[in-house]
Amino acid sequence: MTRPIDHTSIAGKHFPTAEHVALVVLGAGPAGIAAAVEAAGLGVKVMLIDEHPVASALMGIDVPWMFGERMTAAVQNQGRMLEQIVAARPDLQAAFDAGVDVRLGVYAWGAFVEGPTSKALPGSLLGLADEERSWLIRFDRIIVAAGARDLGLAFPGWDRPGVMGAQGFAAATALYGAFSGRRIAIIGSGALAAQVARQAAAAGVAVAATIDATQRITAVLGEAEVEGIAFARLDGSAPASVACDTIVLAVDLVPNVEMFDLLGCKTVFAPEKGGYVPVTDAAGRCSPSVYAAGDCAGICDASIATPARAIASGRNAARLAVADAGHAAPAADPIPPADAADRDAWRRAFLAAHATDRALTICRCEEVPLEDLIGVRPPRYLDYDATKFENRDIRTLAAMGPVNQDQVKRLTRAGMGPCQGRRCREQVQTLLAMQGNQASGDIPMPSYRAPLRPLPLKVINAADETEEMRAGWTTWFGIPAQWLAQWEPAPEGLSWQNRHNRSYEG
Amino acid sequence: MTSHVVIVGGGATGLSSAFWLRREGVAVTVIEKGIVGWEASGRNGGGATHPYSPLFREEQRLWPMMDDLLGYPTEHRPQRVRIAINQSQLDIMRSTENLAVQQGFKVEELDNKAMRELIPWVGDDVAGGAIYHYGGQANPQRTLQAYAWAVQDLGGTIMQHTVVTGFETAGGKITGVQTDQGLVGCDAVVLAAGPHTSQLAAMLGISVPVVAARAEMIVTEPVPLISVGGSDGNGLYGRQTLRGNLAYGGGPHEWIDLPDHRTPRAVNSPVMRSVARRLFELFPKLGHIRVIRSWAGVIENTPDGRPILERLDSPENVVVASMSSVGFGLSPATGRAIMQLVTQGRCDFANLDYLKLNRFEGLGPNWAEEVGWRPWSPESEEGAA
């Protein structure tokens, strides 16, 4: 007797894959390029994927970085931007020369791997897309070198066009050569702020002021666009303002761990590494086939200042992956220990200084003010009885167990917008922890979900879907008796007994 | 006299039961292994259109009142549109016996022009469809928290992050529920733990035949609001939220194992691309609208896909409730029915006679394997049903 299968289920469905790749490297920054070149040099077939140049429409909603609407129209010409990016990353030439299959302008938006609720796949799959279509590839191993994101932190006026992040600024000036501002103010006082100042100097952009941790921003000046910034010392003395057309938020970066979450890898909150980072074994594996390289494994000042650490970690990840695949590879090079600043404390200090006005917008996409976040209020487009919420807030929620950011997200919508939570995820975590008197790491990381980039329906659309997918498609299971009057017995032919007997005939 | 009821499961069915019991003055404790509304109850299409259920009329009567009854918004909207993109879908739609019409509810057919006026995103060549002047949908996440808060407002107790480990019985009744937080004494118990109901019932020596599956949905960025939120077809179920996002699901599910009391994280599969494909076919003018998120949930099904809703004979103070993958929309009515089963032994507004466990007498222990309702992988033996 053959084992019966449920044809309305995923059983027996085939997902077409464009190719089967031994090693994928995700991210063509210093770590990713080094990993790809190293692995290719050791004789492994490598595909190196990077999303830049990204669509200008995504830049408009601050994906993947906070571009602050400070990109020139040049970014609409993707062909030109592709040339620009190859020129800005000269190391890419080494990858081309080593025979790496380099895919630029390709989004890695999904990963589908075996797990407790996913057994039906033929292997590990990656969802890729460009501006026109999406497709799947199968891979054996993956080195994630997805870099860092901008850390969004709210201050009065941070939702104005012209407020951008350090990564957005670096991309606008060095990577795309398409920065539309002329005079910036920098918020931050560490290695990242210094890096922004260096990049500004290199790009010929004036720095009007650097606002450090002893100060707080009191207002962004200007009607619609940024025209200046006003700030004061935290001790209350010496308020000041300067004229500028752009404000670069450079307090810190966040390890970009979204793909690890989809790959089923565990993460842990590490204050000294800038947030949630992948858990690795002693050798550096996140799972038997997933490896982390560069900033996505953790931020440190030394890595912000120079790519040397990222390059070394990329090479080491490649050697590990190559060895795991059964090929000869050199031992890992030593990497100097990272500095161990409490980067979580930077967020807390910034928010303690700035998140004082209860009307301050925290989630920009969904327009959630601080008071609605900590009061767990419904969104304002709903009518509700405000008296019902007088005795409800984050603290009453915390009394029922640890505050869960995904739960708060569902109630307040903070983080549910088109930017996919990039601008508020970390500060919501910090604010919940501060309000609930909890350690930041006690707030479980809100889940990441595919697509990791907002993709149009016509792009994510499975144009390559198989006939059996269409033939076996059912809106909701395929149990005929479910949809017939349940105040009477199921008809003879559709009872479970009949289904059960029929299953033996096959 | 029942004075304290323990409800195992903080999903839609359990919380609604707690709400209705508390309104009758009965003390309630809801025991939830995680967070209220966390599993399938909080992650589904939000539909409230179930004319095949004996609870349908009560579902329709209660939903428009739920915001007021609970005191918190549920985002309920009262109608639903069914779209047929081509003649074949329209023929199937018309040939399907409409159980709601038979029960006196109104269905209005829509032609191409009327459909395009109602939903501007459909194709110019849309065949038509119908508007149901009943049913509708709500926001599951918001509704579940509304239930939980309403239970607390009425003085009920909710224990989150608490795992049931056993039951104490005496004289043919359950007298206490053992948990990892200690013993909770009770006069009656409601088992409403979704896919985990069968593990809990097994602790009482009772066989509840359900198996678990994973299903998934996608959500887009907001688009301008249409007048009827629930508008689906083309193999999809779903709705436009009041924020404007489109949330749709459908297609292949995946049968999974639940080895213990935990619910594993439900991941998405490449099926989400096929959901997007059908949504693009349904709304061809929204090809540029971006998908921003997806999610999945774990639900259970009985062998005939129908609920189990019964007060047992032995132990006689136990109600077993498994809604067989259709729990959220019916929950206002289900909770009220369960309240009656607990307090008076029978439901006076719906015929639940055919939702009892005894219909599965004769079901073998390998029933799920025999119909292919088991995890499948390409390596496992393949065959035809």
DSSP A341-353: --HHHHHHHHHHH
Nearest to B237 among A404, A418, A475 (CB): A475
Q: Which two tokens stand for residue A37?
A: 């070149």
Q: Give the SS3 label for residue A192.
A: helix
pLDDT digits (tens, 9 = 90+) for A90-146: 999 999 999 999 999 999 999 999 999 999 999 999 999 999 999 999 999 999 999
Q: Give the SS3 label for residue A163.
A: strand
Would the CB atoms of B272 and A460 count as touching at under 8 Å? yes
% of chain A surpassing 90 pLDDT: 91
- Range in A16-25, A118-127, A232-241, A243-252 the model is least confident about: A232-241
pTM of the model: 0.97
Cβ(B107)–Cβ(B133) below 8 Å: yes
**pLDDT score recorded for residue A493:** 80
Q: Which of residues 114-173 of A touch B (CB under 8 A)?
A: 115-122, 125, 127, 134, 136
Residues of A with CB below 8 A from B223's CB? none
Residues of B with CB below 8 A from A495's CB? 304
Nearest to B73 among A5, A127, A378 (CB): A378
**pLDDT score recorded for residue B283:** 98
Asked if the model's pLDDT at residue A420 lies above 50, the reply is yes
Largest pairwise CA distance in chain A: 87
**pLDDT score recorded for residue B360:** 95
**Strand B173-179 versus strand B164-170 pairing type:** antiparallel
Mean pLDDT of chain B: 96
**pLDDT score recorded for residue B172:** 94
% of chain A surpassing 70 pLDDT: 98
Q: How confident is the model at residue B167 (pLDDT cuts 50, 70, 90)?
A: very high
Asked if the model's pLDDT at residue B139 lies above 70, the reply is yes
Would the CB atoms of A136 and B253 count as touching at under 8 Å? no
**pLDDT score recorded for residue A275:** 97
pLDDT digits (tens, 9 = 90+) for A435-469: 989 999 999 999 999 999 999 999 999 999 999 99
Would the CB atoms of B372 and A447 count as touching at under 8 Å? no
- Helical H runs in chain B? 12-23, 56-62, 66-70, 87-95, 99-102, 112-118, 140-153, 197-202, 271-282, 331-344, 367-370
Q: How confident is the model at residue A494 (pLDDT cuts 50, 70, 90)?
A: confident
pLDDT digits (tens, 9 = 90+) for B12-62: 999 999 999 999 999 999 999 999 999 999 989 999 999 999 999 999 999
Would the CB atoms of B265 and A8 count as touching at under 8 Å? no
**pLDDT score recorded for residue B379:** 82
Spatial neighbors of A26 by CB under 8 A, at least 6 apart, are: A32, A49, A108, A142, A143, A144, A145, A146, A259
CA-angle at A460, arms to B328 and A82, nearest 5°: 145
Give the closest residue to A36 by CA, choosing from A89, A81, A80, A101.
A101
Q: Which residue of B has its CA nearest to A485?
A: B52
Would the CB atoms of B350 and A487 count as touching at under 8 Å? yes
Spatial neighbors of B55 by CB under 8 A, at least 6 apart, are: B330, B333, B334, B337, B350
Q: In this complex, is the C-beta atom of A9 within 8 Å of any C-beta atom belonging to chain B?
A: yes
Locus of tokens 């009191």? A218
Asked if the model's pLDDT at residue A504 lies above 60, the reply is no
For every residue of A19-41, which 3-state class applies, written as one string? CEEEEEEECCCHHHHHHHHHHHH
Locus of tokens 């090693």? A23
**φ, ψ dihedrals at A8, nearest 5°:** -90, -5
Q: How confident is the model at residue B355 (pLDDT cuts 50, 70, 90)?
A: very high
CA distance A143 to B81: 46
Nearest to B370 among A4, A119, A121 (CB): A4
Would the CB atoms of A264 and B267 count as touching at under 8 Å? yes
**pLDDT score recorded for residue A505:** 35
Nearest to A455 among B75, B149, B290 (CB): B290
CA-angle at A468, arms to A462 and A473, nearest 5°: 75
**φ, ψ dihedrals at A336, nearest 5°:** -60, 145
Q: How confident is the model at residue B381 (pLDDT cuts 50, 70, 90)?
A: low
**pLDDT score recorded for residue A503:** 44
Asked if the model's pLDDT at residue B384 lies above 70, the reply is no
Asked if the model's pLDDT at residue A50 lies above 70, the reply is yes
Residue A162 to chain B, least CA–CA distance (Å): 23
Q: How confident is the model at residue A3 (pLDDT cuts 50, 70, 90)?
A: confident
Residues of A with CB below 8 A from B305's CB? 477, 479-483
Q: How confident is the model at residue A497 (pLDDT cuts 50, 70, 90)?
A: confident
pLDDT digits (tens, 9 = 90+) for A201-212: 999 999 999 999
Asked if the model's pLDDT at residue A297 lies above 60, the reply is yes
Residues of B with CB below 8 A from A13's CB? 252, 271
pLDDT digits (tens, 9 = 90+) for B173-199: 999 999 999 999 999 999 999 999 999
Q: Which two tokens stand for residue A231?
A: 């700030």
Nearest to A116 among B256, B268, B274 (CB): B256
Within 10 Å of residue A400's Cβ, how many Cβ atoms?
Answer: 17
Preceding peptide of B315 cis, ω within 30°: yes
pLDDT digits (tens, 9 = 90+) for B243-258: 999 999 999 999 999 9
Residues of B with CB below 8 A from A388's CB? 71-72, 149, 153
Nearest to A11 among B296, B351, B376 (CB): B376
Mean of the pLDDT values across residues A308-315? 97
Would the CB atoms of B382 and A450 count as touching at under 8 Å? no
**Strand A275-278 versus strand A183-187 pairing type:** unpaired
Asked if the model's pLDDT at residue B385 lies above 50, the reply is no
Q: Which two tokens stand for residue A47?
A: 């595909």
Asked if the model's pLDDT at residue B383 lies above 80, the reply is no
CA distance A118 to A120: 6
pLDDT digits (tens, 9 = 90+) for B123-138: 999 999 999 999 899 9
**pLDDT score recorded for residue B29:** 98
Q: How confident is the model at residue B2 (pLDDT cuts 50, 70, 90)?
A: confident
% of chain B surpassing 70 pLDDT: 98
Residues of B with CB below 8 A from A488's CB? 354
